[in-house]
Amino acid sequence: MSLEDVQSVVLVGVGGQGILLASEVLAQAAVLSGHRVKTNEVHGMAQRGGSVVAQIRWGQKVYSPLVASGTARVLGSLEQIEALRYAHYLAPNGLAVVSAQAIMPMTVSTGEAIYPKDVPGLLKRSFSRLIYLDAAQAALDLGEIRAANMVVLGAVSTGLDIAIEDWRDAIVASVKERFVEINLRAFEAGRSFS
């Protein structure tokens, strides 16, 4: 019952990017791989274009659904500065998967705040293990921009020991039938970014 056995992943992005579906697939995959799982995500206000964070934890026995700072094995981000916002969750040797998408917060467009310059540089300095990929472009190349979340999840999966069959089954179980194919392809595309 050692707590060290518990694995944590934090998925972040902007409301509407499909974080919740990605979280659902990851949770399913962890269940299929034989673990007890807890997930947490806050809906409501945040989903209207706000900053969204989902947390997934699994192991033999999981207590808190929330991840403690410095303990997440992987941080997956669908937007680049959101990765910086939640960087503190990542364990020192953890893997960050960051999509190059930049979605301007309203505070930037109104001039109240500035979007950081040289985000790739900031990311490199913040994360020792970084996969920086353009998930939106990869998804567009496959013909479905909304599958960007699965591209990121595919890259996230390379930092976790969950068998590929469990990932596939989880996608099949969580996604509407007519989108299964495209989501599987997006997930595969993500895996090639390691």
Partner 1 sequence: MAAAASLAKARSIVTMKHVGLNVAADPLMTLSYLGVEGGLVACVADDPGMHSSQNEQDTRHYARLAKVPLFEPSDSQEARDLMLLAMEISEEYRTPAILRSTTRVSHSRSLVDLGERKPAGRRIGFVKNPPRYVPIPVWGRVMRRDVEERMGRLVRAAEASSANWMEWRDRSLGIVTSSIAYQYVREVWPDASVLKLGFSYPFPDSLFLEFASQVDSVLVVEELDPILEEHVRSLGIACRGGDVVPKVGELSPDQLLLARMRMEGRKPAMDAGQMALPPRPAVLCPGCPHRGIFYVLGQLDVVVTGDIGCYSLGAFKPLDRMDTILCMGAGISMAQGLEKAGDPRKVVGIVGDSTFFHSGITGLLDIAYNRGGSTILVLDNRTTAMTGHQENPGTGRTLMGDVSVPISIEAIGSACGIERVRTVDPYDLEAVSVAVREEVEAFAPSLIVARAPCPLKERRRLGAVRVVDEDACKGCRICIRLACPAIEWLGETARINPLLCMGCGLCQGICPAGAIAPQEVDS
Residue 67 and residue 165: Cα distance in Å, rounded? 26
Residue 159 and residue 153: Cα distance in Å, rounded? 10
DSSP element (H, E) containing 174? helix 164-174
Binding to partner 1 (CB under 8 A) within 45-64 occurs at 45-51, 62-64
Least distance in angstroms from the C-beta of 146 to partner 1: 9
How far apart, in Å, are the Cα atoms of 50 and each of 5, 16, 56, 67? 32, 9, 20, 20
DSSP element (H, E) containing 129? strand 129-133
Q: Does 164 bind partner 1 (CB under 8 A)?
A: no
Q: Does 122 bind partner 1 (CB under 8 A)?
A: yes
Least distance in angstroms from the C-beta of 115 to partner 1: 6
Least distance in angstroms from the C-beta of 29 to partner 1: 14
Least distance in angstroms from the C-beta of 79 to partner 1: 9
Q: Does 106 bind partner 1 (CB under 8 A)?
A: yes
Instruction: Please give the size of the binding site for partner 1, defined by CB under 8 A.
Output: 53
- Give the residue with the Cβ less far from partner 1, 125 or 194: 125
Q: Does 124 bind partner 1 (CB under 8 A)?
A: no
Residue 156 and residue 122: Cα distance in Å, rounded? 20
Residue 152 and residue 78: Cα distance in Å, rounded? 7
Q: Does 120 bind partner 1 (CB under 8 A)?
A: no
Q: Does 136 bind partner 1 (CB under 8 A)?
A: yes
- Give the residue with the Cβ less far from partner 1, 15 or 172: 15
According to DSSP, the residues that pair with 12 across neighbouring strands are 53, 77
Q: Does 178 bind partner 1 (CB under 8 A)?
A: no
